[in-house]
Structure 1
Amino acid sequence: MWNRSNSSTAQWWRYFLQLVMANSIRALLPLILTISAVSASDQLPLNVDCGTTGKTAGYLSMTWVGDEQYVTSGQSATVRIDHNRIAPLTTLRYFPDQRKKNCYSFPGVGQGIKILVRTWFYYGNYDGLSSPPTFDLLFNGNPWATVSPSGDNGSAAFEMVHVTKVEDVSVCLARTKPNAVPFINSLEIKKLEDDMYASMDTDRPLYVNGRFAYASTTVVRYPDDPYDRLWFPFTNYSTTGLSPVRRSSDPISNLADRPPAAVLRQAITPSSSLASNMTVPSFIGSPSPAPHYVTFYFVEMLANASRSFDIYLDDQKFYAKTIVPDGTVLELQNPNISLSTSSVFSLVRAKGSTLPPSISAAEFYMIGPVWGVAATDSSDVKALSEFQKSYVQLQPWSGDPCLPIGYAWEWLNCSSDSIPRVTALFLSGYGLTGPLADFSNLTALQIIDLHNNSLSGSIHEFLGKLPNLKRLNLADNQFNGSLPASLITSNSIVNLNISGNNFSGNSSDFAGSAEKKGNVGVIAGGTIGSTLFLLLLVMLAIFIFKKRPANASAKPRSALLEPEIKQHGFSHAEIVEITNNFEKVLGEGGSGNVYYGRLRNGSEVAVKVLKDTLSQGTKEFVAEAKLLMTVHHRFLVSFVGYCEEGGNLILLYEYMGGGNLRQLLSGRSSTSAFITWEIRLKIALRVATGLDYLHSGCYPPIIHRDVKTTNILLNAKMEAKVADFGLSKSGQKEEGADLPTVAVNPRRYSFGQRDDVTQVSTAVAGTPGYIDPEYYRTNRVTQKSDVYSFGVVLLELITGRPPIFAEPGERFHIIGWVTPRIARREIHSIADPKLNGQYNVNSMWKVADVALSCTSETSDRRPSMIDVVNQLNEALEVETSYQQLTDTPSSEVRSSPTFYEFSSSSLSSSYLPSAR
């Protein structure tokens, strides 16, 4: 990798740029290539001049084309600072859209072929902002490098050798910061021979650190090297005590790696013939030991010379035998050796040699991580491609739909399998028109959201036959006809919304015999069942009321509790025993204190006692009791029982021994556990999933209204659950203190109001710092109010700070403190110092973006909780992969904000390479 930001490579990169800028070098350095219009391996090399159109005769007799046929997004621009640069660096394509990645696609390059891929980036202040961006470079679903040019003249180039695993090739630019606009000037793909670099691990790319034609005066490339490898000269002779020496004729070489004669007909050697050793100029960019692929080329420059020497790496022999160069090229190679910037290769004069050592050329590659197939399921990819053809709005997305982790297309979700499957389509509001295209081959789909488009025609039968489909939202389109029988009879779909379409009949009465009959049966069955259930509850309530003693009327709050709760009843004496006379206070809530308790069977519980002095306390207590009785989810705190006796109202919950999230973030928790970024992400994902269940898994939907870190409890394993539903409201439009029974429907058909506009009118309640500003203005709370509060929680997880805090001379709300720092791309300045930088920066950026989206001023700009869940899933996948690679002793790759470094876990015990 060459990168101006890397100090260890800066010297060579600057020198190369000087060569590129010089008019005299123009004919020798065609900076970037072009890609052939025909997609087959025999059409390589492919050379692309990004930001141009058509086909032109290029430098060094190579033909290159514009990039419009390989990319469907982005805009063209011309650099403002060109310094006489050659053509491929004077234009570029940039990608101002907010997509995670934009990709160049090259179909049919071939599977199992060895290729050289090179990309070039020259900022040239094309946008007039004097602010070169930082972004990631991806290859076929794998992370390749981080592009980080500096200054208006900031430049970077990346090159690798790779054996393809699939027929198609894609090179993608991935946005890692909100305001960083990726760009590219040119891209090259060259075909190498199968026997070249034969010792490389074909599952790992070789990242080019540098190739050297030590005694050359210019960069050697095509046509001298038919494979257009770049061989850099070494001209720093005056300070190193080295001098060039040249042959009168080309040496003999039949090496499989095919080094060009232009790099072999000269060498460097110590200026003094009496010198006993020399240091080999090398180009190792890794500050810590990492696996490298290294090749050295030796050939004698002088006739009848007596030259012999040994080669060392630091203090150990690199090659067992003494090197005696002659007119035939000797190649020394080690395909996997640990090197770092401190590694030193030296040539030591052998006994009896009349001349000092010499060397002609060398190649240094860093060995990349294992790259498997790294591709989404081929049938899903094909189905998506066909689906995209029907809608111009979806065609800009290219490259692998799901990989790398964290860079899936924005409108879908994927499984975490080694070969990912597409599990969700989120295409709400994409402006799709016309009939619904067939995507029946996406058989792993669980969620399809197509609402708020202009799709028309009938609904396809295949939707009801997708085997894993759970949620289908077709609301607010222009579909007509009748509902397919497959949807009505499907046992897998538990959430169907088809409101706002043009079906014949009314919203609950579809035309068509079989469909209408099936639908009416479902509705009628549900209605009859609900009626019988309510009647049974009324009769049970009357029976209990008649059996109650006369003095029951002295306890007006008791009648507010639902009869079902009675089966979990405890006496007040039992509560005293359970809590050891209320000995240990766990916390104080708005409606009462919480105490530690232990049941007779040994189970630990939290016991909440209502405060009699609160006028609103009874209503909140009853609301919480009703909700806890009807709502069950693994990420919501479980209800254990209650006590109603002697004027006391008490609830019992499962005990969460890890305290609340605010205590952990502030360090005030009784546990000393440190919550890493990965743990914080898991907490956020659990909470978001629990809230999504309240919003979309309950009917009517439930709005929590008091989402905050003190209402997020953790157990001893740091597993989070949402607690305290005392302020929750059911998503009904009617006002009123009492909440209706909340039913969890295993099969919910929604024909009316959409989920995302559920709202209730109520006096503003909640906790300062978390309350939705729109809620303040309108007194109407919606599901998006919970989303806003959760966004504040995410910012707390990122920063470790409470929602409102003070710094010397100023008081802040966390949103106002974070926003300008995000705008300045200072993600590390907002991250909790206790994290000590131990996090994947892309994962942190994604969560910061989600948090700011959640806390938008207006609710219509906030995502739904299911969207938040999907984004957090991706952020967690990125972080988990990063931690696996950095924390595992046997890992082979670790990432940094600027480039990828690699460390070997299985190096040979011997430094001795083979000779050719």
Structure 2
Amino acid sequence: MTTGYGFYDLSTDCGALIRTAPTHNSHKLWQTDEPFIKTGENKALPTTNTLFQMNTLCYFLEGHKNCYSLPLQEAYRKFLFRAGFYYGNYDGLSKPPSFRLEIDGNIWANVTTSMSEEMIYYELFYITKKSRTSMCLIRTMDSDVPFISSLEAHYIYDTYKWMDNTTALYVHNRINYGASTSVERGMNLHAQHYNRIWKSKEISNYLNIHVEFIDYDYMFGENRPPWMVMGYAIQARNLTDSIYLSIDFSPRTAVQAYFILYFMDPVSRFEQNQTSSVEIYIEDNKMAVTDIPNIDGYLYDRFHAVTLFSLPVNGSANVTISPAEGSTLAPLLNAMEVFSAIDVSEGGHLFNFSSVLFIISLHVLIILVT
């Protein structure tokens, strides 16, 4: 979708010679990158991927910095940016490169590619500063040649409302617990708002539960998670058990972490006089208590989203979901998004915190949720 001001939604098939029209499997129009960058060389890979946009790439033999100029909507619009990489040994050297991504001069990510057949994605939630956004690939070693396979920018209206224009959110995880198949971004627009990728994760220590059929396109409420995500969950095996999850923030350390946890009972466990509520702990600190609604609840109250942010974390974090006092049903969790914050107000430095500030921040948050 475009207007005279620019794109609301931009999907770029880097290195492609022709654009690809929407299909049943991909509702997006994939542009070539020629209008957005004047440097680089196009390359078609010798192998064919299921995702056609990964069958070509653009690589940059010359220059320290090569930048895409993306004509998005006017300034101060919230976008999900996603850069995709598939090396595919396109150069025959079997030496996947490393390099850096920047957005409007702010550090986005240190990219590490691999010989793996899996596609590598780096995502960022970012509020644009101008009508054009600059996305640059930076050479960090003389021997490594930066490349890119796909570049996307999707307007995420009416969601993640606590974001501000001084902070970008680097996506570490977006997990669909209890599911065996990931929810990819190419699905029907009405089923998957904001073009997010939700990675599936079954955990043998817990019950992996799901509803067989959901007769809905999408869910109303905070951040609008897809129905096919909320139709799955992990559940503790017993009422008194907790769910224990470890979140790895590597390669970054000393980050300011953001967590969003999604809760809904997908299998209608409720019977007369049954209640379901959980307590949420980060590193043994009680952060919030929430009820778990039933799939058959009211339109705007079928799920609850709990957002915890400004949490300084060093390398990893332990998340615990425990039964709240009075709950008669075992705790469960459907999905979780995990971010770290990047300061984009003055050059994009990653947040760093002392142990004193860590204790103070947790104390303030505990007061707010109790």
- State the shift of 1:290 in Å: 1.7
CA deviations over 1:121-163 (Å, ceiling 9, x no partner): 1111101111111211111122211112133658532100001
Alpha-carbon spacing, 1:118–1:174, altered in 2? closer, same or farther (3 Å): same
Alpha-carbon spacing, 1:217–1:153, altered in 2? closer, same or farther (3 Å): closer
For 1:148 and 1:154, the matched residues in 2 are separated by 13
Which residue of the other structure, out of 10, 17, 30, is the alignment partner of 1:64? 30
Which residue of the other structure, out of 319, 322, 335, is the alignment partner of 1:361? 335
Aligned length: 347
Equivalent position SS for 2:182: coil
Asked whether the 8 Å contact 1:78–1:90 carries over to 2, the reply is yes
CA deviations over 1:379-436 (Å, ceiling 9, x no partner): xxxxxxxxxxxxxxxxxxxxxxxxx9xxxxxxxxxxxxxxxxxxxxxxxxxxxxxxxx
- State the shift of 1:231 in Å: 1.1
State the partner residue of 2:227. Answer: 261
Which residue of the other structure, out of 49, 70, 75, is the alignment partner of 2:41? 75
Asked whether the 8 Å contact 1:285–1:340 carries over to 2, the reply is no
State the partner residue of 1:278. Answer: 243
Equivalent position SS for 1:912: helix
State the partner residue of 1:298. Answer: 263
State the partner residue of 2:197. Answer: 230
Which residues of 2 match residues 174-253 of structure 1 at below 5 A? 174-193=138-157, 195-220=158-183, 221=185, 222-223=187-188, 224-235=191-202, 237-238=203-204, 240-246=205-211, 249=214
- Confirm whether residue 310 of structure 1 aligns to residue 284 of structure 2: no
Residue 74 of structure 1 aligns with an amino acid whose one-letter code is G
For 1:138 and 1:289, the matched residues in 2 are separated by 20
Which residues of 2 match residues 326-405 of structure 1 at below 5 A? 326=294, 327=297, 328-372=302-346
- Confirm whether residue 146 of structure 1 aligns to residue 114 of structure 2: no
Equivalent position SS for 2:322: strand
- State the shift of 1:213 in Å: 1.9
Asked whether the 8 Å contact 2:250–2:316 carries over to 1, the reply is no
Asked whether the 8 Å contact 2:292–2:304 carries over to 1, the reply is no
Alpha-carbon spacing, 1:37–1:331, altered in 2? closer, same or farther (3 Å): closer
For 2:91 and 2:180, the matched residues in 1 are separated by 35
Alpha-carbon spacing, 1:211–1:914, altered in 2? closer, same or farther (3 Å): farther
- State the shift of 1:307 in Å: 2.4
- State the shift of 1:289 in Å: 3.7
Residue 306 of structure 1 aligns with an amino acid whose one-letter code is T
Equivalent position SS for 1:53: coil
Equivalent position SS for 1:911: helix
For 1:352 and 1:247, the matched residues in 2 are separated by 29
State the partner residue of 1:96. Answer: 61
For 1:176 and 1:276, the matched residues in 2 are separated by 48
Asked whether the 8 Å contact 2:323–2:330 carries over to 1, the reply is yes
For 2:327 and 2:116, the matched residues in 1 are separated by 51
Asked whether the 8 Å contact 2:258–2:310 carries over to 1, the reply is yes
Which residue of the other structure, out of 132, 137, 154, is the alignment partner of 2:101? 137
State the partner residue of 2:364. Answer: 910
Asked whether the 8 Å contact 1:334–1:913 carries over to 2, the reply is no
For 2:212 and 2:275, the matched residues in 1 are separated by 15
Asked whether the 8 Å contact 1:135–1:148 carries over to 2, the reply is yes
Asked whether the 8 Å contact 1:310–1:323 carries over to 2, the reply is no
Asked whether the 8 Å contact 1:124–1:154 carries over to 2, the reply is no
Alpha-carbon spacing, 1:91–1:250, altered in 2? closer, same or farther (3 Å): same
- State the shift of 1:216 in Å: 2.9
Asked whether the 8 Å contact 1:134–1:182 carries over to 2, the reply is yes
Asked whether the 8 Å contact 2:17–2:32 carries over to 1, the reply is yes
- State the shift of 1:45 in Å: 0.9
State the partner residue of 1:164. Answer: 128
For 1:214 and 1:347, the matched residues in 2 are separated by 13
For 1:95 and 1:324, the matched residues in 2 are separated by 50
Equivalent position SS for 1:356: coil
* Larger relative strand fraction: 2
TM-score (normalised: structure 1) = 0.36
Residue 101 of structure 1 aligns with an amino acid whose one-letter code is K
Asked whether the 8 Å contact 2:60–2:147 carries over to 1, the reply is yes
CA deviations over 1:193-232 (Å, ceiling 9, x no partner): 1x31111232111000111221333222342212101111
For 2:127 and 2:135, the matched residues in 1 are separated by 15
For 1:74 and 1:287, the matched residues in 2 are separated by 29
Identify the structure with bigger relative contact order (alpha carbons < 8 Å, sequence gap 6+): 2
Asked whether the 8 Å contact 1:205–1:371 carries over to 2, the reply is no
- State the shift of 1:363 in Å: 0.9
For 1:108 and 1:351, the matched residues in 2 are separated by 49
Which residues of 2 match residues 553-572 of structure 1 at below 5 A? none
For 2:121 and 2:163, the matched residues in 1 are separated by 22
Residue 128 of structure 1 aligns with an amino acid whose one-letter code is G
Rg: which structure is higher?
1
- State the shift of 1:913 in Å: 8.8
Runs of at least 4 residues off by over 4 Å: 36-39, 152-155, 247-253
Asked whether the 8 Å contact 1:333–1:914 carries over to 2, the reply is no
Asked whether the 8 Å contact 2:76–2:128 carries over to 1, the reply is yes
Which residues of 2 match residues 442-841 of structure 1 at below 5 A? none
- State the shift of 1:81 in Å: 4.6
* Larger relative helix fraction: 1
CA deviations over 1:741-763 (Å, ceiling 9, x no partner): xxxxxxxxxxxxxxxxxxxxxxx
Which residue of the other structure, out of 15, 35, 47, is the alignment partner of 1:51? 15
Asked whether the 8 Å contact 1:130–1:152 carries over to 2, the reply is no
Equivalent position SS for 2:66: strand
Alpha-carbon spacing, 1:313–1:247, altered in 2? closer, same or farther (3 Å): farther
Alpha-carbon spacing, 1:182–1:37, altered in 2? closer, same or farther (3 Å): farther
Say what the alpha-carbon RMSD is for the aligned residues. 2.8
State the partner residue of 2:69. Answer: 105
For 1:359 and 1:95, the matched residues in 2 are separated by 43
Equivalent position SS for 1:233: strand
Asked whether the 8 Å contact 2:176–2:336 carries over to 1, the reply is yes
Alpha-carbon spacing, 1:39–1:148, altered in 2? closer, same or farther (3 Å): farther
For 1:205 and 1:243, the matched residues in 2 are separated by 33
Residue 265 of structure 2 aligns with an amino acid whose one-letter code is E
